[in-house]
Every structure is written in structure tokens, then in C-alpha cells.
């Protein structure tokens, strides 16, 4: 039986390459996003702690640390999605 939804590029060597790159891309992308989420949460936690311990005097520093954590998390998530998309041979929409 043949699958009518498969194209010429989904079979043979190209299909095998897509499988490998998809697996690697999904793995690396997932690890990247996990690391970003953990780093972001930890940095926000440190920022909250600084704000709590130092009161109003240290709040700008605590807020800055929290914002850095959010930025790191967002960047890692975007990079992870890009790696996963590349592994699936998707073209950039930008």
C-alpha cells in the first residue's frame, strides 16, 4: 500500500534525513527550552528574593534580575522552536 499523502521528498534518502534531523532537532530544541525555563525561573526567584530582603532600596535590582530571567527564558524558547523547525525542514516565516 502506498500513502497518498507522502511526497517524493518523504521517501528514500531524503525521508531518512528528515527523520534524523527531526529527531535531533526536537531533542535539542526541547533541551534548550527546558534549560531556558529553569534558568528564567531561577533568575526570577533570585530577583524576588533580592526585592524581599532589601525592601524598596533593592527592588530595582530585584526587578532587573527578574526581567533578565524572563528575557533569557524567552530567548531560549525562541531558539528551541527555531531548532525544532529547522529539524522539521520548515522555512522561516519572517
Taking residues 20-24, report their average pLDDT. 84
b/e map of 56-87 (b: 16 or more CB within 10 Å)? eebeeebeebbebbeebbeebbeebeebbebb
- Cβ pair 36, 75 in contact under 8 A: yes
Segment 25-76, tens digit of pLDDT: 889 999 999 999 999 999 999 999 999 999 999 999 999 999 999 999 999 9
Give residue 94's pLDDT.
60
Give residue 12's pLDDT.
78
- Residue 83 within any structural domain of the chain: yes
- Residue 80 within any structural domain of the chain: yes
- Residue 2 within any structural domain of the chain: no
- Residue 68 within any structural domain of the chain: yes
Q: Is 91 a residue whose pLDDT tops 90? A: no
- Residue 26 within any structural domain of the chain: no
Q: What is the domain count for the chain?
A: 1
Q: Which domain holds residue 67?
A: 62-93
- Residue 10 within any structural domain of the chain: no
- Residue 57 within any structural domain of the chain: no
Amino acid at each position: 500500500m502506498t500513502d497518498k499523502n507522502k511526497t517524493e521528498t518523504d521517501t528514500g534518502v531524503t525521508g531518512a534525513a528528515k527523520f534524523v534531523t527531526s529527531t535531533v532537532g526536537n531533542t535539542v530544541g526541547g533541551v534548550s527550552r527546558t534549560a531556558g525555563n529553569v534558568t528564567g525561573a531561577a533568575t526570577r526567584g533570585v530577583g524576588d528574593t533580592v526585592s524581599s530582603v532589601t525592601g524598596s532600596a533593592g527592588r530595582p535590582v530585584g526587578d532587573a534580575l527578574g526581567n533578565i530571567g524572563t528575557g533569557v527564558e524567552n530567548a531560549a524558547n525562541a531558539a528551541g522552536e527555531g531548532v525544532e523547525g529547522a529539524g522539521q525542514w520548515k522555512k522561516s516565516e519572517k
